[in-house]
Amino acid sequence: NDYLTLSSSEAAVYRTTRDGERFRYETTTFFEGDASDADLTIDATTTYQTIIGFGGAFTDAAAINIYKMETKIQDLIVDAYYSADGIQYTTGRIPISSTDFSTSIYSYDATVDDLAMSAFSIAVDKTPTSHKLDLIHRALDTTERNLSMFASSWAPPVWMTEENSTLNCHMKGDPGETYWEALALYYSKFLTAYKNEGIPIWGLTTQNEPAEPILSLNEWQSLRFTTETERDFVKKDLGPRLKADHPDVKLIVMDDNKSNLLDWLAALEDAEAAQYVDGVGIHWYSNYDFPLDIGGNFDDLKTFHQQYPDVFILGTEACEGYLPWWFLTSTGAGVKLSDFNIGWWRAHNYAKDIINDLTNFASGWTDWNLVLDTAGGPNWAGNYVDAPILVDETNGNEFYKQPMYYVLGHFTKFLTPGSVRLSFEAASGSKSRLSDVDWTAFATPEGRYVAILFNKGDDEESVNIMAPNGKLLEVVIRPTSIQTVVFNA
């Protein structure tokens, strides 16, 4: 937290590198110069989107893993994410009932055809085998910042489905009819129940990853529908229900891969549905670990923003270790804790996605599981992946912060909610030399400027940054590194 006590003549530089530096801190001093001396210029008069926040998901697996640890280790993990001495997450995703990162499939109302949700209960979230509510309360009690919680459902109660199964399932009937109306009520009951537990929910997505995949390699809980079905659900059921019961909750559509974004617009193209929509949720799983240094669908985010400038874009899920080993560009499936190269590659992918999402109008980025064990679970479907923090589930006295954790911190620690992205452009003579560098800059509500620079290449680069005060900063960007520069306005 040394950046909090900077003088007006200096800037803080935090650096994480492939060769082992983790949040290395140093300072640099402003010097006089003119625009012709600048490689990059921050223009505080040209502003773009506002930050909602960054965070991770309170899955059953995360809570189970944390509560396997000794009490002092539990505290250290919660502090690592939420305390002033940690990276200070500001969003949290809460699953509505079970996901594959649970130990079994369950819902909050198993009573068949209980359309009035009279048997609805979140008691399972309070049990000693879950601890999900306990973990969320600990995060809220630990943080000094506002924590915007949003909720997502993987599947409805099984009795609402055509298949009598929640695996790649479909709802009975059509939006506007009995079961869809009951699903909207199910969501509303969840929001009310959590509010009554002292956990206010800021946002709600219509459904986690509703798009029907061309090829499904695995099966876990997923309600599938089209963008047109989502439009009708929002217009006829969910939108009116939220307006009546929870008018301040933000409704987020799609909640699926970025590659679907420009084809998933039905709810926004229909005025009756669009009146209820606040944002769009994006995932990164069609990036395929950026083969040949391409991918990310970043231009699609910009196009979407140009078409719907009043609809926020929020990264609602991402993780590493989701691709099988035989996929040529993959970092492999599951946890690779002992493989240094894979660990950094995964952090590299996080940095690339986050910084380019931000420069293309995303208002935040949410990781998947906060914590997993060294096998990448628990997961009832065997869908093991990676997480920024892993625990020693056997001994209960050790946890591991992976490079992904530190890369996330370069954004989450410094880009507080309400920060506004600024124009941050390269001089024409510097663009070629900085072709391996990505950058973004923000003004924070606390009166600071934050510039983040990510060097994908193997060469060190030195850049002069023209600050809004008309003075220059020299920053040395180490090879394969990410650096956050902070200074007072």
Domain at 449, CATH number:
2.60.40.1180
Nearest to 59 by CA among 105, 96, 110: 96
- Residues 205, 347 within the same domain: yes
Say whether both 7 and 121 belong to one domain: no
381 with 469, same domain: the answer is no
Residue that terminates a domain, selected from 393, 417, 441: 417
Query: Looking at 355, 389, 417, which one is the last position of a domain?
Result: 417
Question: CB within 8 A of 335, min separation 6: which ones?
Answer: 321, 372, 374, 375, 376, 384, 386, 390
Kindly state whether residues 140 and 209 are assigned to the same domain.
yes
- 371 and 472 in a single domain? The answer is no
Decide the pairing of beta strands 448-455 and 437-443. antiparallel
pLDDT per residue as tens digits for the range 208-254: 999 998 777 678 899 999 999 999 999 999 999 999 999 999 999 99
Residues 6+ apart with CB under 8 A from 353: 284, 287, 296, 315, 318, 365
Q: Which is the catalytic residue, given 181, 230, 317, 393?
A: 317
**Are residues 271 and 190 both part of a single domain?**
yes
Residue 129: give its domain's CATH number: 3.20.20.80
* Beta bridge pairs of residue 449: 443, 487
Q: Both 105 and 183 in a single domain?
A: yes
Q: Is 461 a catalytic residue?
A: no
Residues 130 and 278 in one domain: yes
**Domain check: are 137 and 6 in the same one?**
no
pLDDT for res 217: 65
- What's the pLDDT at 289? 76
Q: What pLDDT, on the 0 to 100 scale, is given for residue 219?
A: 83
* Strand residue runs (E) in 206-269: 250-257
Do 183 and 325 reside in the same domain of the chain? yes
Residue 278 contacts residue 252 (beta carbons within 8 Å)? yes
Cα 290 to Cα 424: distance, rounded to the nearest angstrom: 24
Looking at the structure, tell me whether residues 398 and 438 fall in a common domain: no
Structural domain of 449: 2-49+420-488
Q: Which two tokens stand for residue 475?
A: 């920053």
Do 264 and 369 belong together in one domain?
Answer: yes
> And the tokens for 119?
């048997």
Alpha-carbon dihedral 178, 184, 187, 192, rounded to 10 degrees: -100
Sheet holding 371-373, edge to edge: 371-373, 389-391, 399-401
Indicate if 209 belongs to the active site: yes
**Number of separate domains in the chain:** 2
Model pLDDT, residue 325: 76
Q: Say what angle helices 298-307 and 340-358 make with each other, to 10 degrees.
A: 20
Which of 417, 447, 477 marks a domain boundary?
A: 417
Give the per-residue pLDDT at 210. Answer: 97
Q: Which of 10, 177, 197, 209 is catalytic?
A: 209
In the chain, helix, strand, coil percent, each to 5?
30, 25, 45
The per-residue pLDDT for 310 is 98
List average pLDDT for each run of 10 residues in the chain, which is 489 residues long.
Answer: 92 96 96 94 98 98 96 97 98 98 97 98 92 97 98 98 97 98 98 98 98 80 97 98 98 97 98 98 89 86 98 98 80 93 95 98 98 97 97 93 98 98 95 94 98 96 96 96 96
H or E element, residue 87: none
